[in-house]
Amino acid sequence: MSLPEIFLERLGRILEPSDLIVAMSAFKSEVPTVFRPNLLKCNSEDLRAELESVGFELTALDFPPDTFTVPSDQRRALTEHAAWSEGRLWIQNPSSMLPPILLDAQSGEDVLDLAAAPGSKTLQLASTGARLTAVEKNRGRFFKLKANLKSQDATNVETRMTDGTGFWRGREESFDKILLDAPCSSEGRFRADDLKSYAYWSPRKIREMKRVQFRLAISAIRMLRPGGILAYSTCTFAPEENEGILDKLLSRFGGVLEILPLDLPLKNVQNGLSEWEGRSFAPEISAARRVLPDGLFEGFFLALIQKKTSIPTRSDV
């Protein structure tokens, strides 16, 4: 089987030709298993020494910090090791680690994870000491999130099974930082040898996702305190779900929002696009970043958005 033709045609218009070649090979290549220590339970050096002493071949990544790989044929053994069953390590693609790192939550801040399950990023945020709330709409995934938080000793998280699009009611200006790792068409996780990874993809899926993404993003903006920061991310390439959402937010909220510059010490990144299918995006959206698949990092998109002031009420304008 091969990846959907319409997807490949679109990707050819999103990426530079040289990046497309790398991405096409990454969709087919064997990916090492990437993991990070659960800093609530152990430190990197002890975990590394413990795993190497029983034969795991660890390589530390330059970035993100405290992140290791083992060859893909050691993945199974890793999930059978006590460090996994005892919740001392978490397997996670490095692209997925970026939004919590950039959000830079601090102890004592009120932080919301608005689309949280299965909780990879909630777990990262939990080790910051922030006052953390995690929302998940899907019942099965909500209980998976709860189980993951428990096994990793992330006890400082308030969890809510509810629809994030309406969660803002009664919570306007309640959070310093919000992570919206939005449900998406998941193009960044496609694997050429895994039909399941792309079987549910279609242009219609993109249209469906962009509607819920925008509603979740509006909810997030309402809940941010003035000065607060939203990290918006998806694991998809589709500009409609990425730059398109940022552009609609800027139009909707006028001068209230600012897209912040992102400093990512990675080579496999592209600035936010300036246009897609005849629609121009606001120039400041170039500050967003698309992480390109390179055989280690999966495809990803992220932006930091600051709410500079309260949203004016009708009587203010």
Ligand X SMILES: C[S@@+](CC[C@H](N)C(=O)[O-])C[C@H]1O[C@@H](n2cnc3c(N)ncnc32)[C@H](O)[C@@H]1O
Which residues bind to ligand X, rule: CB under 6 A? 96, 115-121, 135-138, 141, 163-165, 181, 183, 212, 216
Residues 241, 211: Cα–Cα separation, whole Å: 9
Residues 6+ apart with CB under 8 A from 4: 198, 201, 202
Active site residue 184: no
Least distance between ligand X and beta carbon 183 (Å) = 4
Closer to ligand X by Cβ: residue 75 or 141:
141
Q: Which of 116, 113, 128, 124 is nearest to 35 (CA)?
A: 124
Residues 83, 88: Cα–Cα separation, whole Å: 5
Q: Single out the catalytic residue among 34, 230, 235, 291.
A: 235
Closer to ligand X by Cβ: residue 74 or 236:
236
Least distance between ligand X and beta carbon 149 (Å) = 11
Least distance between ligand X and beta carbon 85 (Å) = 19
Closer to ligand X by Cβ: residue 48 or 205:
205
Closer to ligand X by Cβ: residue 13 or 211:
211
Closer to ligand X by Cβ: residue 7 or 232:
232
Residues 114, 218: Cα–Cα separation, whole Å: 12
Q: Using CB atoms within 10 A of its CB, is residue 31 exposed (0-12), middle (13-18) or buried (19+)?
A: middle
Active-site positions?
Answer: 235
